[in-house]
Structure 1
Amino acid sequence: MADDHGTDALGCYGNPVIQTPNLDKLAAEGVRFTNAFCTTASCSPSRSVLLTGLHNHANGMYGLEHTYHHFNSFENVAGLPELLAKKGYRTARVGKFHVAPEKVFQFQTVLSAGQANDPNALGRSPVEMAAACKAFISQPGKPFFLYFASDDPHRSNGVLPNGHPTFNSYPAPNLFGNRRQGYPGIKEIVYAPDKVIVPPFLPDNAETRAELAQYYQAVSRLDQGVGQLIQILKDAGQYENSLIIYLSDNGVAFPGAKTTLYDPGMKLPLIVRRPGKDQKSFVQPALVSWVDITPTILDYAGASSGTKLQGKSFRAVLENEKAAGQTEIYASHSLHEITMYYPMRVIRTPKYKLIYNLAHELTFPFALDLVESSAWQSVQKSKSNIYGQRAIQQFLHRPKFELYDLEKDPGEINNLAQSKSHQEVFNQLLTKMKQFQKETSDPWYHKWTYE
């Protein structure tokens, strides 16, 4: 698992500049999904969904777990490591953790403490992370589940004299974990800002390009760690036996992606290699959600959840490129930091996306690492009214409903919620969204009654 890695920075997803040879090779040997989505573009809630098969509003991890935010999943939830352990699997984690309580996400072996966004943590050194897993992987006997969670390519954080965290480096770029002395076993790949590809949702200026160059460097470092981990699997004779899944918790840490449910925040890389020697490689356009990850892993392990999960196994579309996929996926964001209340619910089909902004009267709140980014600060200081393709006021002040035709408007700029010619589509999607909220015991479903 990567931290804040979008599809914008992977060779196998079409970026000709960034160097990600190990992930590109994994994609060439497996299945690359082009319509894979997190359910919430925020770290702890997203990870809780991945490890439970339940949306954050159902498992209780409404926002960030660490320090004073203190969001925890409900203690009666059964996490993936516990379910696999009951099936006889050895379980271990290394790198970033950022979920709680331990009782729900209990791994038998903890290879590193995994403090959230700790610049000195092992999670920034992916080759060392892989080395820490070698003994666990090589142990004979029982099958294993390894949760390999990098801190890359999350933004670098520091601490102010008063003890508060900071990501501010303006006018210099944030370093995204890159450091002058490098990391053991890593060949640092440095990118020229004028060569990076600026996604349409970002402003194309010097500050953004400088930050993207640092982001690319962090992604290439992570890629080398993935390569080392795969080599350890091969050396242990476990590569052909293993289900290998690469994904990210949410999109890149720039305004317009992370913490939003626009596609740059929720449409993410998903690369899967199935067990076996001669696997057919293909690109899979079927819709897949992070709530489906736990059910899929349990399916391959022959394990049971014991309770009804909100996701479903996508094993069929993983093994057959022509299998029928889901017709829609759902997303549910509640908060990021404790002060950043902005619940959103989303239904997305291949063609349309409907966003329900439950607290639309509020100004959209910024995560600290986004508001302090040089990319955002540069636009603020320039007094521009536009950020990327979107008017800043449109970004900060959102209507109750947003409906987008993703085929005609991939940037999600032209809101069709009030369009007379789209009312049938709007009503169909809204009915399904309400049903989703009801079926998943969404606490915010109550708003439909009291409002």
Structure 2
Amino acid sequence: MITYAFQIFQSILKFGLVGMLTLLTNLTDKKPIAEAERPNILFCIADDASMKSFDAYGDTFINTSAIDNLAKEGVVFQNAYNGNPKCSPARACILTGKYSWQLKEAADHNGRFPLEFKTYPQLLAQKGYRVGYTGKGWGPGVYDTKDNPAGPEHNEIRLEPPYKGISDIDYAANFEVFLNDNPKDTPFCFWLGAKEPHRFYELDSWKKAGRKLEEADVPPFYPDNEIVRGDLLDYANEIEWFDTHVGKAIKALDKKGLLKNTLVIITSDHGMPFPRVKGQIYEEGFHIPLIAYWKGKIISGRTVNDFVSFSDFAPTFMEVAGETPHQQMTGSSITKQLFTSESGRIDTARNHVLLGKERHDVGRANEDGIDLAYPVRAIRNDSLLYVHNIQPERWPVGNPEYGFMNTDGSPTKSYITAIQPDDEEYHFFEMNFDKKPEIELYNIQKDPHCINNLATKPEYSNIIAKLRTQMETELIAQGDPRTLGKGEVFDNYIYYGKRLDYKTGKRIAPLKYTKKTE
């Protein structure tokens, strides 16, 4: 209050009465979020949806009209990244505000969510928010809290899905019930987690939808044939299902008059469940959609080029709610990017992002042991992607004798893995499943699909050295065990999904897990 009065006194001396009135107007118009009515947060996340599958990111053969409308009326982030392109570690980054390599057991897919980590839903619940989720929250994996780390579950209402591969959970209806049950004047934070477009898909559901094979856009790292095109069209059906539920959720907010006080976020945990995308450190695997909408608060029609990571989400939600981000959160809030009137690069320091992965799915073994990670660290800036495959002697998507288990089963996978070395299409197998060199470097502006590795060209040696130094300096500062020479810890964490009998190559039951005391 003293500071406020002193500002007024200074304005009188410097600008006179007119200047004072102008300053008073500015000060009252720019109240901190904490002084305003506490806003609601609706977080909508698809499961395995590539950024380029949404209209807001360019031409696509997929219709996402509801999300596109939000993009036009909100802000589109052009450089948002997940930190780790697999479901449970990516979602753990969102919930904790920590970088993937700081997550301990949760850095691995199908691991344990450490009880010591605070999540933004837990923290907001302690501050009076009502929290909940529908569909898929954090997972797969095990956790010790009563509720999923995303909040209490709301999956009671079911429906008859249009295709066999789609979940019968009615996400939008469950959200509407949550809204109707929400006490008056109680802010909420809700996680709408669709299970689509995660596999499996009803084969040839594209025919039921009246699609045509020529509509599909086939990436250059796949063969262009009817099998792949049909698979992509089946995937498109499930993206549109997610879009439908986002649209219904927005209508539910509008019907209750809540749009003016609700921040809506649209994203996906990583790229599509196809070879070379989901789980892989290439552009389509970790470059995710991020669209923010808040009627009357976020200026419409904007695009932001700042680099943003999933670890930035939790501190952002805390600040939007008027709270201080928890000290465990190592990401940085993007409220400045949300509420500015500008487009382009808002913060010049946000000119790159770090990425990584450890163990995703089992099915990788060599003389060093079984259930091994495929450790990768990478840095992406405006033009380049530098990738360090730390143990390139290992198979990147799992051993061939176990079925390349870090790629979901699909018609596309079956076709590519059946290609033989003497086939003219064998380069597709090499791009998708073969072992990788230790160092990869791609010019994303010229080569967005990461096809041409520049690392072997002498003229790039200085650039590679600089990028590696920058990346490792930051990773060391963040306490990354792998960069500090203690990466074997990730191999030794327990995998809680269906395990692999390495003698028979068959799946076996997951380990029994008993929750620990909260």
- TM-score grouping bracket, smaller chain normalisation: 0.7 to 0.9
Structure 1 runs not aligned, ≥5 long: 66-70, 157-173, 181-187
Say which is worse superposed, 317-326 or 249-258, in terms of deviation. Answer: 317-326
Give the alignment partner of residue 327 of structure 2, picking from 290, 297, 307: 307
Q: Decide whether the 8 Å contact of 2:50 with 2:289 is kept in 1.
A: yes
Say which is worse superposed, 377-386 or 255-264, in terms of deviation. Answer: 377-386
Deviation digits for residues 325-345 of structure 1, max 9, x if unmatched?
501101121121134521111
Q: CA deviation at 1:111?
A: 0.5
Q: CA deviation at 1:449?
A: 11
Pair 1:359 & 2:360 matched = no
Structure 2: how far apart are the matches of 1:22 and 1:377?
A: 34
2:108 alignment partner in structure 1 = 63
Q: Decide whether the 8 Å contact of 1:193 with 1:212 is kept in 2.
A: no
1:281 alignment partner in structure 2 = 301
1:396 alignment partner in structure 2 = 434
Pair 1:142 & 2:186 matched = yes
2:359 alignment partner in structure 1 = 335
Say which is worse superposed, 334-343 or 425-434, in terms of deviation. Answer: 334-343
2:202 alignment partner in structure 1 = 175
Structure 1: how far apart are the matches of 2:165 and 2:418?
A: 36
2:380 alignment partner in structure 1 = 348
1:232-251 equivalences under 5 Å are 232-251=252-271
In structure 2, the CA distance between the partners of 1:302 and 1:122, relative to structure 1 (3 Å rule), is farther
2:407 alignment partner in structure 1 = 370
Q: CA deviation at 1:415?
A: 2.2
Q: Given residue 29 of structure 1, which amino acid in structure 2 is its aligned partner?
A: E
User: Aligned Cα RMSD in Å?
Assistant: 3.0
2:121 alignment partner in structure 1 = 81
Q: Decide whether the 8 Å contact of 2:47 with 2:196 is kept in 1.
A: yes
In structure 2, the CA distance between the partners of 1:389 and 1:436, relative to structure 1 (3 Å rule), is farther
Give the alignment partner of residue 380 of structure 1, picking from 412, 417, 441: 417
Q: Decide whether the 8 Å contact of 1:154 with 1:177 is kept in 2.
A: no
Give the alignment partner of residue 223 of structure 2, picking from 190, 195, 203: 203
In structure 2, the CA distance between the partners of 1:351 and 1:386, relative to structure 1 (3 Å rule), is farther
Q: Decide whether the 8 Å contact of 2:77 with 2:304 is kept in 1.
A: yes
Structure 1: how far apart are the matches of 2:483 and 2:298?
A: 47
Pair 1:131 & 2:173 matched = yes
In structure 2, the CA distance between the partners of 1:176 and 1:252, relative to structure 1 (3 Å rule), is farther
Structure 1: how far apart are the matches of 2:165 and 2:448?
A: 37
Structure 1: how far apart are the matches of 2:352 and 2:75?
A: 20
Q: CA deviation at 1:20?
A: 1.1
Structure 1: how far apart are the matches of 2:165 and 2:178?
A: 17
Q: Given residue 382 of structure 2, which amino acid in structure 1 is its aligned partner?
A: P
Q: CA deviation at 1:189?
A: 4.1
Deviation digits for residues 238-290 of structure 1, max 9, x if unmatched?
11211110100110011111010100101111111135367322122221111
Q: CA deviation at 1:293?
A: 1.1
Structure 2: how far apart are the matches of 1:93 and 1:228?
A: 16
| Partner-residue secondary structure (3-state), 2:325 | coil
Q: CA deviation at 1:230?
A: 0.6
Say which is worse superposed, 427-436 or 46-55, in terms of deviation. Answer: 427-436
Pair 1:258 & 2:278 matched = yes
Structure 2: how far apart are the matches of 1:214 and 1:123?
A: 11
Deviation digits for residues 399-435 of structure 1, max 9, x if unmatched?
2211222223222222233432222221111112112
Give the alignment partner of residue 96 of structure 1, picking from 130, 133, 136: 136
Give the alignment partner of residue 52 of structure 1, picking from 83, 96, 101: 96
Structure 2: how far apart are the matches of 1:387 and 1:267?
A: 27
Q: Decide whether the 8 Å contact of 1:55 with 1:332 is kept in 2.
A: no
| Partner-residue secondary structure (3-state), 1:285 | strand
Structure 1: how far apart are the matches of 2:339 and 2:102?
A: 30
Q: CA deviation at 1:291?
A: 1.4
Q: Decide whether the 8 Å contact of 1:96 with 1:123 is kept in 2.
A: no
Structure 2: how far apart are the matches of 1:252 and 1:449?
A: 28
Q: CA deviation at 1:217?
A: 0.7
Q: Given residue 92 of structure 1, which amino acid in structure 2 is its aligned partner?
A: G
Structure 2 runs not aligned, ≥5 long: 1-44, 365-372, 399-403, 489-518
In structure 2, the CA distance between the partners of 1:278 and 1:292, relative to structure 1 (3 Å rule), is closer
Q: Decide whether the 8 Å contact of 1:251 with 1:258 is kept in 2.
A: yes
Q: Decide whether the 8 Å contact of 2:311 with 2:331 is kept in 1.
A: yes
1:440 alignment partner in structure 2 = 478
Structure 2: how far apart are the matches of 1:131 and 1:64?
A: 30
TM-score, normalisation: structure 2: 0.74
Say which is worse superposed, 310-319 or 207-216, in terms of deviation. Answer: 310-319
| Partner-residue secondary structure (3-state), 1:148 | strand
| Partner-residue secondary structure (3-state), 1:110 | coil
| Partner-residue secondary structure (3-state), 2:251 | helix
2:212 alignment partner in structure 1 = 192
Q: Given residue 385 of structure 2, which amino acid in structure 1 is its aligned partner?
A: K
TM-score, normalisation: structure 1: 0.84
Q: CA deviation at 1:47?
A: 0.6
Structure 1: how far apart are the matches of 2:143 and 2:310?
A: 20
